Amino acid sequence: MTTSGGHNLPDRRPARVASRPLPSQWERTELLTLEEAASLFWPQGPITVRTLRTAMRDGVLAVTWIAGKVFTTPEAIADMTRCRPNPKGRPPANTEPDREAQAQPKPVSAPEQALMKLLAEEKAKLPSRYRQQQRR
């Protein structure tokens, strides 16, 4: 039990993190579950297991899978949190999107045009009752 302001609250940290609550007590290459990593490095937030899963999905957080479980390391967490140049295609958070660029239609490539034509031809072959249902 953890005491907080005179109240006994259950310790919700994973057992391994409760026994070693400081990041310095962990080896840089020691495996952690995502729950352990979030609890160890951000006990009060803002990074959560969900955030780490998103970072994993986006390729920002290095992970390994063992027996169907996802693990990371303190070293991978450190790499993830290092500031780096803004990735291509993502505007800086403090800028407005270019409205003029959004207004311009994207050029359609020849393969896309061929596919659009094929789809239109196939759609025209459908009985009219099916074409009307697709509009709903």
Contact 37, 73 (CB under 8 A): no
Cα separation, 100 vs 38, in Å, equals 41
Cα separation, 38 vs 34, in Å, equals 6
Task: Collapse the DSSP code of 77 into the 3-class scheme (helix H, G, I; strand E, B; otherwise coil) and give the result.
Answer: helix
When the pLDDT of each residue in the chain is averaged and rounded to a whole number, the result is: 81
Q: Is the pLDDT assigned to residue 131 strictly greater than 80?
A: no
Above pLDDT 70, what percent of the chain?
73
